């Protein structure tokens, strides 16, 4: 099979495996240990709780990001269309899945052209940072942003996933200067994320020095890409090796707290294992400005835009109630609400 057809097969495998198999990390996000300060006398009205916020100078109706998932194939076009329609009506942000396929096959382009469904949303283009060592440069990254009319570019860091893939791109040597060059050359902000094993405070400092505009910690506790890769391979030894990484990574709560503590000024996205509006509230209290979900949204995204909207409605109801019983009338107040930790 050619390298190009391999990318498309991999894309379909990823979605299918995420839908059909147990790909949850065996570690938790750590958010279950965070207890927000309950307020029995909120002194606000539930209906006046305001979920709106802004991120990278874009207004959002709720601090939610559809984390980067897919694109490039017919099935992924349906998923992206449902997500984009729902994002537009809910006023939330959306990340595209890796657009590498669209640089190689023009037929893949339409799954990334979502502005016809979502003209106003904060939309992120996406590519693996490691591709900067495999022939992708500033010109190609500009092309990714332009093909999607995106507002910013997300680079994902996924060394463990690449190492577990038989066809993985594992040369992560000297990426930082290339990220730095990209940040200085693109006219849109560059955001860096992990894919579910977390960004440490040390890596965050390096990225901030390189000029990234925001960081998505994408910590452990949700979708485990070692599990996904385990289900993709038929080779027994590779399966066993992948299975041993199921609990790998920095749990989301830990990554979030340490990155925020060391770099309080950097716009921060929390993701990795978030499932509810309460998780969103906890992440905001821990220092996040925006909260991302992938696995939680995938199943409804394969069904319809209405199903995705139903999930958004549920999340916003939970977040609103949570803010109400914390006595937080807006997102800024929620960020300062205070919390404790249990074991
Ligand atoms: C089907 C699927 C495909 C994904 N593809 C990408 C991708 O192309 N680029 C990327 O940055 N992250 C990708 N991710 C990772 C997510 O953006 C996210 O970081 C990770 O799944 C952890 O979040 P979760 O626990 O909410 O699922 C993908 C996730 C899923 C479920």
pLDDT in tens, 194-233: 999 999 999 999 999 999 999 999 999 999 999 999 999 9
18 Cβ closer than 6 Å to some ligand 1 atom: yes
Q: For ligand 1, pick from 14, 19, 64, 97 the residue to mutate: most ligand atoms within 8 Å of CB.
A: 97
114 Cβ closer than 6 Å to some ligand 1 atom: no
Q: How far is the CA of 324 from the centre of ligand 1 (A)?
A: 31
**Cβ atoms 305, 85 nearer than 8 A:** yes
**Which residue's CA is the nearest one to ligand 1's atom 2?**
69
pTM over 0.75: yes
d(CA 142, CA 285): 35
Q: What pLDDT, on the 0 to 100 scale, is given for residue 332?
A: 98
Q: How far is the CA of 132 from the centre of ligand 1 (A)?
A: 20
Structural domains for the chain? 3-341 (3.20.20.70)
Per the DSSP assignment, residues forming a β-bridge with 59 are 54
pLDDT digits (tens, 9 = 90+) for 28-87: 999 999 999 999 999 999 999 999 999 999 999 999 999 999 999 999 999 999 999 999
3 against 167, higher pLDDT: 167
Q: How confident is the model at residue 2 (pLDDT cuts 50, 70, 90)?
A: low
Tokens of 112: 């990334």
**Cβ atoms 92, 60 nearer than 8 A:** yes
pLDDT digits (tens, 9 = 90+) for 230-262: 999 999 999 999 999 999 999 999 999 999 999
205 against 4, higher pLDDT: 205
| Residue 263: exposure state from Cβ atoms within 10 A (0-12, 13-18, ≥19) | middle
Q: What pLDDT, on the 0 to 100 scale, is given for residue 4?
A: 59
126 Cβ closer than 6 Å to some ligand 1 atom: yes
**Cβ atoms 82, 305 nearer than 8 A:** yes
Q: How far is the CA of 98 from the centre of ligand 1 (A)?
A: 10
Q: What pLDDT, on the 0 to 100 scale, is given for residue 112?
A: 96
**Which residue's CA is the nearest one to ligand 1's atom 7?**
97
69 Cβ closer than 6 Å to some ligand 1 atom: yes
* Averaged pLDDT of the chain: 96
14 Cβ closer than 6 Å to some ligand 1 atom: yes
pLDDT digits (tens, 9 = 90+) for 87-98: 999 999 999 999
Q: How far is the CA of 46 from the centre of ligand 1 (A)?
A: 33
**Which residue's CA is the nearest one to ligand 1's atom 4?**
69
d(CA 100, CA 103): 5
Q: What pLDDT, on the 0 to 100 scale, is given for residue 107?
A: 82
Q: What pLDDT, on the 0 to 100 scale, is given for residue 10?
A: 86
CB neighbour list of residue 219: distance below 8 Å, 6 or more residues apart: 29, 30, 194, 196, 197, 198, 199, 249, 250, 251, 252, 253, 254, 255, 256, 270, 271, 272, 273
d(CA 251, CA 273): 9
Q: Which atom of ligand 1 is nearest to the CA of 193?
A: 11
Q: For ligand 1, pick from 22, 65, 69, 217 the residue to mutate: most ligand atoms within 8 Å of CB.
A: 69
Which letter does DSSP use for residue 111 in this model? Answer: G
d(CA 125, CA 138): 14
pLDDT digits (tens, 9 = 90+) for 145-176: 999 999 999 999 999 999 999 889 999 999 99
């Amino acid at each position: 099979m050619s390298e190009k057809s391999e990318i498309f097969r991999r894309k379909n495998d990823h979605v299918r495996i995420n839908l059909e198999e147990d790909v949850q990390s065996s570690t938790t996000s750590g958010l279950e240990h965070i207890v927000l300060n309950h307020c029995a006398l909120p002194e606000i009205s539930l209906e006046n709780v305001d979920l709106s916020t802004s991120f990278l100078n874009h207004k959002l109706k709720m601090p939610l990001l559809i984390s980067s998932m897919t694109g490039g194939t017919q099935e992924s076009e349906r998923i992206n269309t449902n997500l984009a329609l729902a994002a537009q009506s809910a006023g939330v942000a959306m990340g595209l899945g890796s657009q590498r396929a669209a640089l190689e096959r023009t037929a893949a382009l339409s799954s990334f052209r979502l502005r016809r469904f979502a003209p106003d949303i904060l939309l992120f283009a996406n590519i693996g940072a490691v591709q900067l060592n495999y022939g992708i440069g500033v010109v190609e990254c500009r092309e990714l942003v332009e093909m999607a009319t995106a507002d910013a570019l997300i680079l994902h860091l996924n060394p463990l996933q690449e190492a577990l893939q038989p066809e993985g791109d594992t040369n992560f040597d000297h990426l930082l200067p290339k990220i730095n060059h990209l940040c200085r050359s693109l006219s849109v902000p560059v955001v860096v994320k992990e894919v579910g094993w977390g960004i440490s405070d040390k890596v965050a400092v390096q990225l901030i020095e390189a000029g990234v505009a925001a960081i998505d910690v994408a910590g452990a506790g949700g979708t485990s890409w070692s599990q996904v890769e385990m289900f993709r391979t038929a080779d027994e030894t590779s399966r066993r090796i992948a299975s041993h990484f199921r609990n790998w990574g920095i749990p989301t709560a830990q990554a979030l707290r340490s990155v925020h503590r060391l770099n309080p000024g950097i716009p921060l996205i929390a993701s990795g294992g978030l499932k509810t509006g309460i998780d969103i509230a906890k992440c905001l209290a821990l220092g996040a400005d925006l909260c991302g979900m992938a696995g939680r949204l995938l199943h409804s995204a394969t069904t319809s835009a209405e199903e995705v909207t139903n999930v958004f409605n549920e999340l916003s109801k939970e977040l609103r109630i949570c803010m109400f019983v914390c006595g937080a009338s807006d997102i800024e107040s929620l960020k300062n609400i205070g919390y404790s930790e249990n074991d």
